[in-house]
């Protein structure tokens, strides 16, 4: 028996807030709604599990194979033995090109793949990005940018 979710209940308000702004922090949302961040976290987990159940309800449709440029294939074979996840990420079109330089192409794992895989937010992602590229692109200025984003991250989480 499935219970109907009341949109006016606290959990309904949490679900609506998360649906409208998925990056909203549990602590801030809990404070606004007068509940605990662990309750907000539990609701968020229920929502994620429901999404996974919905996705699994559809039959598997294989993705079309993307063309691999021979130079990239050689680089993969020579430099490292890629895991299945790394290989899939490397072959994706977005990873095969870079606009404005080549400072990420030499990385074993592209910063945006790490950020997405670990579900990091905007501020955390920028810290990872600037720390990853500072030697190849912006030097000390990139480290200062990472420090600036880190200071803001600390500020919003106090």
> pLDDT tens-digit profile of 96-148?
566 555 666 666 677 777 788 788 888 898 888 888 888 878 789 989 999 99
The answer to whether residues 15 and 42 touch, using CB atoms and an 8 Å cutoff, is: no
Which pLDDT band, with edges at 50, 70 and 90, does 151 fall under? very high
Q: Is the dihedral of CA 90, 93, 95, 98 positive or negative?
A: positive
Which helix or strand (DSSP H or E) is residue 155 part of?
helix 140-156
Question: What integer best gives the mean pLDDT of the chain?
Answer: 76
| pLDDT of 79 over the 60 cut | no
Can you tell me the mean pLDDT for 40-46? 87
Between 155 and 81, where is the model more confident?
Answer: 155
């Amino acid at each position: 028996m499935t219970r109907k979710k009341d949109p006016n209940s606290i959990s309904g308000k949490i679900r609506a807030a998360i649906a409208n702004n998925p990056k909203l922090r549990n602590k801030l949302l809990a404070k606004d709604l007068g509940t605990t961040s662990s309750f907000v976290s539990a609701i968020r987990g229920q929502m994620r599990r429901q999404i996974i159940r919905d996705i699994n309800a559809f039959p598997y449709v294989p993705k079309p194979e993307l063309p691999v440029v021979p130079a990239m294939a050689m680089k993969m074979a020579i430099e490292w033995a890629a895991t299945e996840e790394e290989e899939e990420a490397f072959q994706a079109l977005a990873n095969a090109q870079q606009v404005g330089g080549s400072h990420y192409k030499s990385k074993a794992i592209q910063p945006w793949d790490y950020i997405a895989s670990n579900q990091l937010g905007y501020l955390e992602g920028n810290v990872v990005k600037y720390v990853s590229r500072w030697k190849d692109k912006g030097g000390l200025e990139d480290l200062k940018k990472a420090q600036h984003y880190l200071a803001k991250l600390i500020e919003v989480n106090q």
